[in-house]
Amino acid sequence: MPVVQLYLNRLQKLVGKKSNKNKILSKIPFLGLDIEEQTNEYLRVEYSPNRPDYATDFGIALGLQGLFGIKTGMPKLSIKKGNYNLRVDSSVKKVRPYITSIIAKNGTLDDETIRQLITLQEDLHFGIGRRRKKASIGIHDLEKIEFPIKYTTVSKNHKFIPLDSSQEIPLSEILEKTEVGKEYGSILNNSPKVPIILDAKENTISFPPIINSALTTVSSNTSNLLIEVTATDKNAAEDSLAVVAITLQAAGFQLRSVKISGANNSSPLLKPRKIILNSDLVNNILGLNLSTTMIASSLRKSRIDATAKKNKIICIIPRYRFDIFGTMDLVEEVALGYGIENLKSTLPPSISVGEKNDITKAIDSLSLIMIGLGYTEVVNSSLVSNQIQNELTNRSNSDVIQVVESKSLEHTILRDAIIPGILENLSKNIHEQYPQKLFETGIVFSKGNPIQEDSHLAGISAHNDANFSEIKSILQSLLKIGFNIDSETKTSSHPIFSEGKTANILVNEKIVGILGEIDSKVIGNFKIREEVKVVGFEIKLSGLIFD
Amino acid sequence: MSQVLHPIEKKIIKSLMESESSTPEKLVESTKLSIDQVRRGMEWLKLKGLAEVKEIEKITLKLGKNGLDAKNNGLPERKLVNNIQGEPKSFAEVQNLLKSDFNAAIANAKKNDWIQIEKGENSTKISLKGIALQSPEEKLIDFFGIDEKMLNDIEDTEALASLKKRPDFISQNITKLKTISLSEKAKNIDFEVSSEAIDVEAKVPQTHAARIHPLKETINEIREIFVSLGFSEVSGNLAQPSFWNFDALFTPQDHPAREMQDTFYIKDIKAGKFASSQQIRSVSRSHKLGWGYDWNISEAQRMALRTHTTCVTIKHLADYKPDEARIFSLGRVFRNEKVSYKHLAEFNQVEGVVIGNNVTLRDLMGLQEEFYRRIGLTKIKFWPTFFPYTEPSLQSMVYNDRLGKWIELFGMGIFRPEVTKPLGISKPVLAWGGGIERIAMLKYGIDDVREFYNNNLNWLRSATKCQ
């Protein structure tokens, strides 16, 4: 989850005179923000990826003003008509068809604001922009740009000075050699012509979605901005623009429209949406009995315009709240505005009788018997390493089920047996007192339709006098006491077990498991002391004790 | 004085009365006790002031590899002397003969006053001074032979120091030796009078009970609570088609959470028939409508290790469509995360679901509180939060006294209509759950979640609950 750093003094100024730091601190969690770290000066809070408007303190201040009742209802975007033209060339259709834009004037940017805007931008890139694929945003110094500007395509020989560079670089080189080029270049699908934004003097403003030009870099001296969003999805572009616009307006900028034309592009309207909410839905879901006026006022505290009309509430949702899909989202907004802390819990009587499933019951009872037989339970991962599962147990399993791109070498394949994990447990406990008698129950995997999952139980006994009869006796008692199952053993061989001291476990002439003395080479591989003998068994419970 | 003694102690005292001072090894022989019993008995007697236990260091020495070589073939200086026995030789000749031993040979032969060195015009000559008598080092080497000697038995410490300076000539072994003798107090005990009473205060060896794994104990406790609250258990596979893990829960196919860096996908295996065609059709439509993209079935077929147990509950609800029910699922879930003290790649999760006509968010909060009350957590509060498939969503915060802070436990919410409607579920569904290890950590006072999977026997045998 993304994190934003909030300076308390700054935040309090933004929220307004009627607030104080303590009130702010106690309300922040009720916006759905998690306080990660707190000092006297600042807070670090985690916000949900569906609320990018909380990436800056401007957006959070809008939310707090609502909860405090300082300002309620929808924060309206005030966009005056500007004299700025953006023309779109039809060649962009094939590679990145949409652009939208707005101007923000007469604001001030300090370093903190710039830092937060960059965070907002990255957050939008990651979330709604789907790592810039769907939408990417550029923020530019307006003074460096000559209008009209155009969004078009160029060949990769085109050169310009990209951000944080001092010399002209061809686009092909940006794609091949720079970090951003390598990371985001694939979005352009090897298109021979790539998108570019040029101004009236043919200066390059941006090479979307890769990098902006050095020319239009924003600094703390910048007071007028051009914001552009290029996209493969027009909605995603305007949603992103709406978040940036409301944030800049809250930061004190005045918004001006950009006239966009050409290739199915148009000036963004950023209009709010209307949804009609039924008060019954609200009260049924929340378990309350709120009047429509109370519901409307709660919504306004959540910064949504709402007016009560009979048993309905007419809601106007600002464009930047694209996390709201429908009425159920508005129910949540009512709960937030009403105050989660004001909801009293109720315990509904149960109309049902609870029950464990049969597998759990059977495994519970087998586990109890194993404990009675003196075996201590261990738990291991079912996603394991090939080294422990196969190499150390002298097995070569050609049918391993692998996961893709695991972050950890210890978790790369799904286990097909439990015993290797228990041997690893013995290996880590060679300094502990013997006898060591361990068991584990769990799922093992094999290929088949598409993946077969079976419950197994394995038991291992390790001490100087451990022998075949001991473990056979344990296995037979377990099945007999637990489920009145008679089992027998027949000579077999298996790479984990010693030749001549290995047997299949049979129930009604069907093989259900394996039992024997662990091979001395395997014991050596696990660095268990030579004088310790290890015996064990593993049985498949699925099909034997439950289906 | 009345003194109750353990049979072990009696045997040791008896043996010590016969021989003034003894060692554990000797006591094993004389008392027929095991070495562990003797060690324990010595410790008890020492604590009771009945015996004096001293620890002494025993240093033994023997010839090392080069020392043994010198014993057989002579020290370098002796080789030198043997070489110039007949006639003086030049530096170069001797150097050629002795090679790496040359410097040591010259230095020691001079020290022993065996040779003289004359500088000539063309070469430097080495000649014998007289009869080269056996040096102290040679005597010591003879004394050693192939045996191990006690340090105390060696008289010529100067020769020893000199041999020790030469690499690999002497190897030294230090062993710690315990000796035990009776104290004055013990000598006054009359054994014949001592009763058959046993020392009820003596320490006893620890017995290890075979037991259930602490994490399993917590899992079982949680399962019992769910059952007692009227929930029935449902189960499902750990490897799931992406459809049930993501698509059915309204997670768009290009959502970052579905990327490989968060989810374990299974290599080269795709799901066959994973849902009814009706379910597939309506989920596809719901994605198109809600997220505005073309849903792709092959993405839904990718097999993943389930990232939550919700895939099991949602499939149950979609397949059986109960009007009223309380169900829960519990089991392993997976996240492709770097393993650390707070994150595991594989852990346990529980999720409870209530479906019914009149269920509300306040009911969900009440169930949650009741659940926590039953596992012994009483300070609880609720905060809003975000989950992709519930709306409204809350998280519960629980105060932990040991850590002195609020910690985040289970999350909860009401399934979004975008999730339930396409699957034909018409009643509201309350859902809540979370990781079980977190609760087990509170119960056992553990700060590193990996502890549960280390299976350290010492811990398994001794872990106790703190809450």
Question: How many domains does chain B contain in total?
Answer: 3
Residue A117 clears pLDDT 50, i.e. is over it: yes
Count CB-CB contacts under 10 A for residue A291: 12
Residue B193 clears pLDDT 70, i.e. is over it: no
Burial class (CB in 10 A: 0-12, 13-18, 19+), B440: buried
Count CB-CB contacts under 10 A for residue B144: 21
Domain housing B449: 214-462
Q: What CA–CA distance (Å, rounded) separates B40 from A327? A: 75
Q: What CA–CA distance (Å, rounded) separates A197 from A147? A: 12
Residue A458 with chain B: CB contacts under 8 Å: none
B121 assigned to some structural domain: yes
Residue A31 with chain B: CB contacts under 8 Å: 384
- The pLDDT score that the predictor gives to residue A55 is 92
B86 assigned to some structural domain: yes
B398 touches chain A (CB under 8 A): no
A378 touches chain B (CB under 8 A): yes
CB contact under 8 A, B361 and A329: no
B176 assigned to some structural domain: no
> Do A377 and A302 share a structural domain?
no
> Do A59 and A88 share a structural domain?
no
- The pLDDT score that the predictor gives to residue A327 is 94
CB contact under 8 A, A325 and B416: yes
B339 touches chain A (CB under 8 A): yes
DSSP alpha helices (H): ranges in B166-213? 184-187
Of B267, B292, B385, nearest to A32 by CB-CB distance is B385
Mean pLDDT of chain A: 92
Tell me the torsion sign for CA atoms A348, A352, A357, A361.
positive
CA distance B365 to chain A (A): 5
Q: What CA–CA distance (Å, rounded) separates B107 from B75? A: 12
**CATH at residue B96:** 1.10.10.10
Residues with Cβ within 8 Å of residue A306, at least 6 apart in sequence: A73, A277, A295, A296, A297, A299, A300, A313, A314, A315, A316
B297 assigned to some structural domain: yes
> Do A467 and A364 share a structural domain?
yes
**CATH at residue A29:** 3.30.56.10
Angle (CA) A507-A509-A510 rounded to 5° is 70
pLDDT digits (tens, 9 = 90+) for B198-250: 677 777 777 888 999 999 999 999 999 999 999 999 999 999 999 999 999 99
> Do B348 and B220 share a structural domain?
yes
Residues with Cβ within 8 Å of residue A490, at least 6 apart in sequence: A503, A504, A506
A266 assigned to some structural domain: no
pLDDT digits (tens, 9 = 90+) for B75-112: 888 888 888 887 888 878 888 888 888 888 888 888 88
> Do A290 and A234 share a structural domain?
no
pLDDT > 70 in chain B, percent? 97
Instruction: Tell me the whole-structure pTM to 2 decimals.
Output: 0.78
B202 touches chain A (CB under 8 A): no
> Do A479 and A426 share a structural domain?
yes
Tokens 């951003």 label which residue?
A180
A188 assigned to some structural domain: yes
Give mean pLDDT, residues A77-82. Answer: 91
**CATH at residue B29:** 1.10.10
A306 assigned to some structural domain: yes
B55 assigned to some structural domain: no
A547 assigned to some structural domain: no
Chosen domain end from A261, A293, A314: A261
pLDDT > 90 in chain B, percent? 45
SS3 B289: helix
In this structure, what token pair is assigned to residue B429?
């569904």
- Sheet of B124-128, strand order: B89-90, B124-128, B115-119
* CB distance B235 to B312 below 8 Å: yes
Residue A414 with chain B: CB contacts under 8 Å: 239, 266, 305
A169 touches chain B (CB under 8 A): no
Give mean pLDDT, residues B368-377. Answer: 93
CB contact under 8 A, A379 and B210: no
A351 touches chain B (CB under 8 A): yes
Nearest CA in chain A to B462: A376
> Do A333 and A244 share a structural domain?
no
Mean pLDDT of chain B: 88
CA distance B65 to chain A (A): 29
**CATH at residue A513:** 3.30.930.10
> Do B72 and B155 share a structural domain?
yes
A268 assigned to some structural domain: no
CB contact under 8 A, A374 and B234: no
> Do B103 and B40 share a structural domain?
no
> Do A296 and A171 share a structural domain?
no
- The pLDDT score that the predictor gives to residue B196 is 67
B57 assigned to some structural domain: no
CB contact under 8 A, A32 and B383: yes
pLDDT band at B1 (very low <50, low <70, confident <90, very high): very low
- The pLDDT score that the predictor gives to residue B413 is 96
Residue B222 with chain A: CB contacts under 8 Å: none
B344 assigned to some structural domain: yes
**CATH at residue B328:** 3.30.930.10
Give mean pLDDT, residues B117-145. Answer: 83
A35 touches chain B (CB under 8 A): no
> Do B280 and B393 share a structural domain?
yes
CB contact under 8 A, B212 and A344: no
CB contact under 8 A, A447 and B230: no
> Do A534 and A421 share a structural domain?
yes
Domain housing A202: 79-261
> Do A228 and A324 share a structural domain?
no
**E runs forming strands in B271-337:** 302-305, 325-334
Count CB-CB contacts under 10 A for residue A344: 10
> Do B296 and B247 share a structural domain?
yes
Q: What CA–CA distance (Å, rounded) separates B180 from B8? A: 15
CB contact under 8 A, B386 and A443: no
Question: How many domains does chain A contain in total?
Answer: 4
Of A332, A378, A414, nearest to B392 by CB-CB distance is A332
A529 assigned to some structural domain: yes
Residue B467 clears pLDDT 80, i.e. is over it: no
Give mean pLDDT, residues B368-372. Answer: 94
CB contact under 8 A, A379 and B362: no
In this structure, what token pair is assigned to residue A22?
């303590």
Long-range contacts of A520-529, Cβ-Cβ distance < 8 Å, separation of 24 or more: A521/A394, A522/A392, A522/A393, A522/A394, A522/A423, A522/A495, A522/A496, A525/A391, A525/A392, A525/A393, A525/A394, A526/A392, A526/A423, A526/A424, A526/A426, A526/A427, A527/A427, A527/A430, A528/A423, A528/A426, A528/A427, A528/A430, A528/A462, A529/A430
pLDDT band at A350 (very low <50, low <70, confident <90, very high): confident
> Do B330 and B444 share a structural domain?
yes
Q: What ipTM was predicted for this assembly?
A: 0.89
Residue B238 with chain A: CB contacts under 8 Å: 382, 443, 445, 453
pLDDT digits (tens, 9 = 90+) for A292-312: 999 999 999 999 999 999 889
Give mean pLDDT, residues A422-446. Answer: 95
Q: What CA–CA distance (Å, rounded) separates A224 from A109? A: 10
pLDDT band at B125 (very low <50, low <70, confident <90, very high): confident
Which A residues, 173 through 232, put their C-beta within 8 Å of a C-beta on chain B? none
Residues with Cβ within 8 Å of residue A310, at least 6 apart in sequence: A292
H/E stretch holding A539 reads strand A533-540
The pairing of strands A497-507 and A488-491 is: antiparallel
- List the single best residue of A60, A98, A411, A419 to mutate versus B (max B Cβ within 10 A): A411
> Do B225 and B142 share a structural domain?
no
- List the single best residue of B221, B245, B386 to mutate versus A (max A Cβ within 10 A): B386
Chosen domain end from A294, A316, A342: A342
Tokens 């060649």 label which residue?
A91
> Do B249 and B364 share a structural domain?
yes
- The pLDDT score that the predictor gives to residue B405 is 87
> Do B424 and B303 share a structural domain?
yes
> Do A20 and A159 share a structural domain?
no
Chosen domain end from A22, A40, A68: A68
Give mean pLDDT, residues A340-346. Answer: 92
A74 assigned to some structural domain: no
> Do B108 and B8 share a structural domain?
no
Most confidently modeled of A355-359, A456-460, B1-5? A456-460
Burial class (CB in 10 A: 0-12, 13-18, 19+), B92: exposed
> Do A333 and A198 share a structural domain?
no
DSSP alpha helices (H): ranges in B146-236? 157-165, 184-187, 214-228
CB contact under 8 A, B384 and A325: no
H/E stretch holding B443 reads helix B437-444
CA distance B94 to chain A (A): 52
Nearest CA-CA partner of B326 in B407, B230, B417: B230
B177 assigned to some structural domain: no
> Do B439 and B323 share a structural domain?
yes
> Do B80 and B23 share a structural domain?
no
> Do A449 and A492 share a structural domain?
yes
pLDDT band at B188 (very low <50, low <70, confident <90, very high): confident
Q: What CA–CA distance (Å, rounded) separates A117 from A420? A: 52
- List the single best residue of B394, B455, B459, B460 to mutate versus A (max A Cβ within 10 A): B455
